[in-house]
Amino acid sequence: MLKIQNLTKRYGDKVAVEGLSLEIGKGEIYAFIGHNGAGKTTAIKACCGILPFEEGEILIDGHSIQEEPLVCKKSLAYIPDNPDLYEFMSGVAYLNFIADIFGVSASLREEKIKALSEKFGLTADLAQPISAYSHGMKQKLAIIAAFLHEPKLIIMDEPFVGLDPKASHTMKEMMREFTQKGGAIFFSTHVLEVAERLCDRVAIIKKGKLLVSGTMEEVKGNTSLEEVFLELAEN
């Protein structure tokens, strides 16, 4: 579903990501781990077509994000690390806007908005302006918007930040359901316990370079993911 081949991204002289290669298959939840400033967000933004890159290739469902950005973007959803949404809109207006952009039919969006906002306990606040939302509420709205247009791939940057325990639990359930239906999820996180329990595969990145990747068992072996990460980060 997502294939990153030898991705290199530079900001001037600084190399943010160097020669990164990963492959995420259908039905997989893939965790992307690294310390602050390791290049996770850069790589994620490049996968979503937000950041152009100098070298390498990113394929989404077989299509190049550089050559066919619209085809790729139609099948993916992105949730950023900070849910900066249109503060001048109400929650429901934002969801309608996203549904319009992705061509979601009226009936499907009604059904989806109702179901998803109820799951996250956001229904009562949908008429409120987003400017009145807390960080967690914005995060929930960004998640609902991501699932609204039924993407094949969801790319998320720290999706659990700001979520209350119930919403966090709901999110994990939704991620599992989504991948069971054939979708793929690629997300970055600092919550290693969540990654360990939720993900099928994991990649650890340091200073823009991939240190290790593979199935959770391959990467952590008999130890915990936290121990592996700390050991790799220190060395």
Partner 1 sequence: MLKTLIKARLSAFWAGLGFDKKTGKKRSVGKLVLFGFLYVYLIAVFLGLFLGAFFLLGTLTLQTEMAWLYFAAAGLLAVLLAVVGTVFGTVTQLYEAKDNDLLLSMPIPPKYILLSRLLTLLLGNVAFEAVVLLPAFVMYFVVGLPFGAISPWGILSLLAGMLVLPFVSLTFSCLFGWLVAQLLRRVRRKSLVQTVFSLALLGLYFYFYGKMMTGADSLENISLILHPLANAVKTYFYPFYLFGLGCAGNVGAGLLSLLFAAIPAFLVFWILAKSFINIATAKTALKKTAYREKTMKRSSPRRALVKNNLSHLFHSSGYLLNSAIGLFMLLVGAVALLVGKDAFLSSFLSMDGMEGAEEITAFLTADALAALLTAMVCFLASMVMITAPSISIEAKTIWILRSSPLTGRDVLLSKVYASELLSVPVLLIVSVAVIVVAAPVWYVALGVLLLPQLFALFGALFGMIVGVAFPRFNWNNETEAVKQGMAVFLAMFGMMGISVAAIGIGFILSILLGAGAALLLLSLLFLGLSLLLLWIMLSVSARKFEKIQV
Chain residues binding partner 1 by CB under 8 A are: 45, 48-52, 69-71, 73-74, 76, 78, 80, 82, 84-86, 88-90, 92-93, 96-106, 109-110, 113-114, 123-129, 132
User: CB of residue 84 vs partner 1: minimum separation in angstroms?
Assistant: 4
Give the residue with the Cβ less far from partner 1, 122 or 194: 122
> Hey, is 4 helix, strand or coil?
strand
Output the smallest distance, CB 164 to partner 1, in A.
19
Q: 17 or 216, CB closer to partner 1?
A: 17
In this complex, which beta carbon is closest to partner 1, that of residue 101 or of residue 230? 101
Of the pair 12, 165, the CB lying nearest partner 1 is at: 12
Nearest to 211 by CA among 39, 14, 91, 89: 39
Q: Least distance (Å) from partner 1 to the CB of residue 181? A: 21
State the residue for tokens 């791939």: 153
Q: How far is the CB of 22 from partner 1 (least distance, A)?
A: 19
| Distance between CA atoms of residues 146 and 95, nearest Å | 9
Report, in Å, the least distance between residue 146 CB and partner 1.
10
Pinpoint the alpha helices (H) of 79-134.
91-101, 106-119
* Rounded-to-integer distance, Cα 169 and Cα 166, Å: 5
Chain centre distance of CA 64: 18
Nearer to partner 1, 153 or 210 (CB): 153
By beta-carbon proximity to partner 1, the closer residue of 15 and 92 is 92
- Indicate the DSSP class of residue 50: S
Alpha-carbon distances of 188 from 29, 33, 93, 140, rounded to whole Å: 11, 6, 28, 17
Q: How far is the CB of 69 from partner 1 (least distance, A)?
A: 8
Rg (CA), the chain: 18
The answer to whether 113 and 144 have CB atoms below 8 angstroms apart is yes
